[in-house]
């Protein structure tokens, strides 16, 4: 059956490693629009981090922020949002501190941290096109956090923390790396897969009508929610095995090639 909705991850998938949209990617989304194939994004980014995409790509559908736990319209009005249970947020913050992992808290519409010069803060500024709010004590914000991020240049150590923290928190929170250097903690029971299911039902579509693209473990739930799942060439092998197709990497026009090869050609 032809695809009628495409939902894409952003970082590592839709944008290049430099966080830019290529002309080929913009053209591919224009080609979807010309075929009346709907398009939107599901991302670990906060809502403000989706703003640079909206006008350039002409997005009109709801978007999933914070791995789908917050849903916003293209004017960034909140449709629904969830918070991490306070006990789980405090446990995650404690484990990050024990392992020497920097903590970022996304709460009250702000990006909060202790050290504005810490690892990857410059990258996040460029990604979000926003400045962090510095707070000496992040504790008061843990009671209403939409997302926590553990940040570290030690990818191996962060992977080990991911495994341990996921086991500790269980059903209290979702724990997945959105990049090799970012470990996200988000509200339980809400992920990119739930976002895709919600949107396709809203549009009156079947599961087989939906294509999804991603590169990290937090995209696997989204893969399961659609009929056609496409992993990026830069994805880990474990993620590729969960997808029906694999395209080139995000630094080699993987998104645009996937749309042309698997969505538009199949529809034609």
| Shared-domain flag, residues 70 and 202 | yes
Q: What is the pLDDT of residue 184?
A: 96
Band (268; pLDDT cuts 50, 70, 90): low
The strand order across the sheet containing 245-246 reads 38-41, 5-8, 210-214, 228-231, 245-246
Among 4, 3, 9, 6, which Cα is nearest to 179's? 9
Band (267; pLDDT cuts 50, 70, 90): low
What does the pLDDT average to over 107-135?
A: 95
First to last CA, the chain: 11
Q: With 80 as the cut, is the pLDDT of residue 262 above it?
A: yes
Domain boundary among 148, 171, 186: 186
| Shared-domain flag, residues 102 and 180 | yes
CB-based contact 228:265 (threshold 8 Å): no
At 128, list the tokens.
């979000």
| Shared-domain flag, residues 77 and 93 | no
**How would you classify the pairing of strands 245-246 and 63-65?**
unpaired
What's the chain's average pLDDT?
Answer: 96
177: CATH: 3.30.1240.10
Domain carrying residue 98: 86-186
**What are the tens digits of pLDDT across the range 123-179?**
999 999 999 999 999 999 999 999 999 999 999 999 999 999 999 999 999 999 999
Give the Cα separation of 265 and 157 in Å (integer).
42
| Shared-domain flag, residues 30 and 91 | no
| Shared-domain flag, residues 196 and 232 | yes
Any alpha helices (H) in 40-170, and if so which ranges?
A: 51-57, 86-98, 121-128, 155-169
Q: With 90 as the cut, is the pLDDT of residue 113 above it?
A: yes
Q: What is the pLDDT of residue 266?
A: 75
247: CATH: 3.40.50.1000
Among 9, 23, 18, which Cα is nearest to 126's? 18
In the block, tokens 């690892």 appear at: 119
At 266, list the tokens.
């199949």
At 215, list the tokens.
């590169």
| Shared-domain flag, residues 117 and 178 | yes
């Amino acid at each position: 059956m032809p695809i009628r909705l495409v939902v894409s991850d952003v970082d590592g998938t839709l944008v290049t490693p430099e966080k830019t949209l290529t002309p080929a990617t913009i053209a591919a989304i224009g080609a979807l629009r010309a075929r009346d194939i709907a398009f939107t994004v599901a991302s670990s980014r906060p809502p403000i981090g989706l703003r640079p995409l909206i006008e350039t790509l002409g997005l009109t559908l709801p978007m999933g922020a914070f791995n789908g736990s917050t849903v916003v319209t293209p004017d960034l009005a909140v449709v629904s949002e969830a918070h991490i249970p306070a006990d789980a947020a405090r446990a995650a913050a404690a484990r990050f501190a024990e392992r020497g992992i920097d903590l970022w808290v996304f709460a009250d519409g702000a990006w909060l941290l202790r050290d504005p010069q810490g690892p990857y803060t410059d990258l996040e500024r460029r990604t979000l096109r926003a400045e962090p709010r510095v707070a000496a004590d992040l504790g008061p914000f843990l009671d209403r956090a939409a997302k926590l991020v553990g940040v570290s240049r030690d990818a191996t150590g962060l992977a080990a923390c991911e495994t341990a923290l996921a086991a500790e928190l269980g059903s209290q929170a979702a724990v997945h790396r959105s990049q090799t250097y970012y470990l996200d903690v988000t509200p339980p029971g809400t992920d990119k897969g739930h976002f895709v299911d919600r949107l396709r039902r809203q549009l009156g579509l079947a599961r087989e009508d939906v294509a999804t693209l991603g590169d990290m473990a937090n995209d696997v739930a989204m893969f399961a929610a659609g009929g056609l799942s496409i992993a990026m060439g830069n994805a880990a092998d474990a993620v590729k095995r969960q997808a029906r197709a694999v395209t080139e990497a995000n630094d080699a026009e993987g998104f645009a090639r996937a749309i042309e090869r698997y969505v538009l050609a199949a529809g034609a």
